[in-house]
Amino acid sequence: MKLVIGLGNIGSRYVGNRHNVGFMIVDQLATQLDATWKEESKLKAFLATAELDGEKIILAKPTTMMNLSGEAVQRIMQYYRLGHEDILVIFDDLDTEFGKARQRSSGSSGGHNGVQSIIDHIGGEFKRLRIGISMNDRSAEPSESYVLRNFNADEAKQLPALIDSFCTDIRMSLSTPPLQ
């Protein structure tokens, strides 16, 4: 069983925000895997379950705000008795160019409060996929307000194809058996 968590903020005012790119990706994964979202209030998340190459995949969108994501991740892990090796967290990254992705198997939060919340609740040993949301047009704007802005028109045009590509890569990584 694998758990794929997209980080974002719940609510219509955040839907197109840069900070919600994790939600955008797990939403597309749910569509591709023909999975339906269901709110699980005890787990503080929306969950969608699917099967990929005979393995159960749980997709999650925490219903806490971004900075409290660790509460939901911890509850889901405990409920399904998952290990750190079974988790992939997808989130936005200010320090990565728009459209680029970086995967790591552990490390620091890099200043991302949602990831720090997860580290505070379960430790830092989990796979993470950082999705670049660009720094190109930030100028002197504080990071906290930049991440809550929507993608610009050019980025918004590119986003669907990028999300599809990320989803393909994620599905491949989930269905590839680990090296022995």
Q: What CATH number has the domain bearing residue 117?
A: 3.40.50.1470
pTM over 0.95: no
Closest CA to 5 of 101, 72, 83, 102: 72
Identify whether 35 is part of a domain: yes
Per-residue pLDDT tens, the chain, 180 aa: give them. Answer: 999 999 999 999 999 999 999 999 999 999 999 999 999 999 999 999 999 988 999 999 999 989 999 999 999 999 999 999 999 999 998 888 898 998 888 878 777 888 999 999 999 999 999 999 976 665 667 888 888 889 889 999 999 999 999 999 999 888 765 544
The residue range of the domain holding 26 is: 2-175
Q: How remote is the C-alpha of 142 from its chain's centroid?
A: 22
Instruction: Give the pLDDT score at 107.
Output: 79
Identify whether 180 is part of a domain: no
- The answer to whether residue 19 is catalytic is yes
Identify whether 67 is part of a domain: yes
Closest CA to 133 of 17, 15, 26: 17
Closest CA to 35 of 68, 6, 65: 6
Identify whether 100 is part of a domain: yes
List 19, 84, 112, 121, catalytic entry:
19
- Count of domains observed in the chain: 1
Distances (CA, A) of 82 to 3, 56, 75, 78: 8, 12, 10, 7
